Chains A and B, each alone.
Chain A
Amino acid sequence: MAQAKTYDIDTIRRDFPILHQQVHNQPLIYLDNAATTQKPKPVIDKVNEIYSLKNSNIHRGVHYLSTQLTEAYEEAREKVREFINAGNTHEIIFTGGTTHSINAIAYSFGEKYVQAGDEIIIAELEHHANIVPWQVLCERKDARLKVIPINDRGEIIMEAYEKMISGKTKIVAINHISNTLGTINDVKKIINLAHKQDIPVLVDGAQSVQHQTIDVQELDCDFFAFSGHKIYGPNGTGVLYGKEKWLEDLPPYQTGGEMIHKVSFEHTTYTSPPLKFEAGTSNYVGAIGMAEALKYLQKIGLDEIAAHEKGLLDYATSRLEEIPGLTIYGTASKKISVISFLIENIHHYDTGMVLDKMGIAVRTGHHCTEPLMNHFNVEGTVRCSFAMYNTKDEIDHLYRALIKVNEMFG
């Protein structure tokens, strides 16, 4: 039997150079991980190594550097495939991030399959990146955007969704985990219900890949989108997974070099996926760096990370609940390590400014989820989000800092 890995937080923290610094003369406590995660040494070293020794444009080259790096890029694609357990490597498309991935499908799928009077389903707790592209598509095609409501704990109301699906529904686009509330949505059930009526589902996995093991075949989602920078990889990288049948079928959303089969001034034919969806020079350095981040995560262990983060969530929730006047927004029974809150009448911006001065990085505002803020009837919240390298000691600091906030503004 394999021995459970021990979670050595000190070693993990040593792998992240950025954490060991002071801001405003205080040790940095980075709790803005849902916005972006910090990068471990192997990722930084890999990017540095490519630019120092290996850089060359991929795929078209006949020379040594190009061939070597093309191989590394395709290995990165295979690493992503393995990481989310896709059936085929050509189902993995490298993009610039989750937003890019969703826009690609909203365009390609929308062009081919959405017509006037059709419906697209999203949920009330979507990030703007999974609202606006569909809204624009609906405007373009005179289609309708339907929104699944949530309850006050921040959970999708499944019965409402079931009633919403109909013969008019063309696609369901749903976030796996809410960036603002941390709610883990039952995407498996959402997908099953849609598939009963042959409706494809896109899952926005921007907040899920870094917190739990993803198996796109087990989920049976048609599309899955995520960003490299939120999973400890380089900025400006992302992934769009699509089932083979869709990627073969859908038109490209961008055209240019790299994605063609034959070009003449009369007619152009496209190459097969994945390159059909990777027009132009891709961010190959970022993609290879992202694969390095995935290797790092596998080394630490996703289950171990999830267990550590669950410990942080439970501890932080109980500490924050001790603070007089503090309300937590998002109390779903299944959550990741994200806590949105407000302290009575204290403005989120004031809280964030004072925390910053105490070395604590949090996010304040609407977190790109304005409709969700409207649900809770607030302008914004303070959000702390924990990652694999955070500690209970940091949560104690947060607690003391919030007591201070209360004293100053209360």
Chain B
Amino acid sequence: MTINEKQQEIIDEFALFDDWMDKYNYLIEQSKDLPEMEPENKTEENLIEGCQSKVWLHAEMDGDKLVFRADSDAIITKGLIALLIRVLSGRKPEEIKDANLYFIDEIGLKENLSPTRSNGLLAMINKIKAYAMAYELKKNQ
């Protein structure tokens, strides 16, 4: 599945919900499905400090794929992380680097990525892209 196919899959899932409560409940479910992050990777270095919720992000290469593990202390944030991981983890760096993440807007949760939200999510996406760029540079060297 390509990144955009994965995004479409999530958009279709959210199409079933017509109010925020259902969406939030679904995010809570998603948070439970997020692969657990190894405690030893929850380091200061991997911490993305949002003012409101904490986000940890760890990246490593598995063959030619970039795999992400992430976590948050807030559940809604963690649910959104789970969606981002579903879309972006386990892909080639060049795919990740060029990804246009429109699904968050389409499922009506764009406000969560606003810089004013300071929940660490926007910073997490930026960091994911920075990892992808760094690994691609390394590969091309």
Q: List residues of chain A with CB under 8 Å of any chain B CB.
A: 24, 346-350, 352-354, 357, 364-365, 379-380, 408-409
A364 neighbours in B (Cβ, 8 Å): 52
B30 neighbours in A (Cβ, 8 Å): none
Partner of A349, one of B24, B25, B76: B76
- A164, B52: Cα distance in complex, Å: 35
Min C-beta distance of B122 to chain A, whole Å: 15
Q: List residues of chain B with CB under 8 Å of any chain A CB.
A: 20-21, 24-25, 28, 51-54, 73-77, 119
Contact of B73 with A347 in the complex, beta carbons under 8 Å: yes
Partner of A408, one of B28, B52, B73, B77: B28
A350 neighbours in B (Cβ, 8 Å): 74-76
Contact of A349 with B77 in the complex, beta carbons under 8 Å: yes
* Contact A409 B20, CB 8 Å, known A364-B52, A365-B52: no
Contact of B21 with A365 in the complex, beta carbons under 8 Å: no
Q: Which residue of A lies closest to B50 (CB)?
A: A349
Question: 27 A–B contact pairs at CB < 8 A?
Answer: A24-B20, A346-B75, A347-B53, A347-B73, A347-B74, A349-B76, A349-B77, A349-B119, A350-B74, A350-B75, A350-B76, A352-B52, A353-B24, A354-B24, A357-B20, A357-B24, A364-B52, A365-B52, A379-B54, A379-B73, A380-B52, A408-B21, A408-B24, A408-B25, A408-B28, A409-B28, A409-B75
- A352, B111: Cα distance in complex, Å: 14
* Contact A349 B20, CB 8 Å, known A364-B52, A365-B51, A408-B25: no
Q: Which residue of B lies closest to A346 (CB)?
A: B75
Total A-B residue pairs with C-beta atoms closer than 8 Å? Answer: 35
Top 10 closest A-B pairs, CB basis? A347-B74, A349-B74, A349-B52, A349-B53, A357-B20, A350-B75, A350-B74, A350-B76, A353-B76, A365-B52
Min C-beta distance of A174 to chain B, whole Å: 26
A408 neighbours in B (Cβ, 8 Å): 21, 24-25, 28
Min C-beta distance of B73 to chain A, whole Å: 6
- A380, B49: Cα distance in complex, Å: 14
Q: Which residue of B lies closest to A409 (CB)?
A: B75
Min C-beta distance of A366 to chain B, whole Å: 8
Min C-beta distance of A25 to chain B, whole Å: 9
- A291, B135: Cα distance in complex, Å: 60
- A347, B76: Cα distance in complex, Å: 9
B51 neighbours in A (Cβ, 8 Å): 365
With most chain B CB atoms within 10 A of its CB, the pick from A350, A364, A379, A408 is A350
B28 neighbours in A (Cβ, 8 Å): 408-409
Contact of B75 with A357 in the complex, beta carbons under 8 Å: no
A379 neighbours in B (Cβ, 8 Å): 54, 73
- A307, B75: Cα distance in complex, Å: 39
Min C-beta distance of B39 to chain A, whole Å: 18
- A348, B118: Cα distance in complex, Å: 13
- A354, B24: Cα distance in complex, Å: 8
B54 neighbours in A (Cβ, 8 Å): 379
18 further A-B pairs in the complex, CB-CB below 8 A; given A347-B75, A408-B21: A24-B20, A347-B53, A347-B73, A349-B52, A349-B53, A349-B74, A349-B76, A349-B77, A349-B119, A350-B75, A352-B52, A353-B24, A353-B76, A357-B20, A357-B24, A364-B52, A379-B54, A408-B25
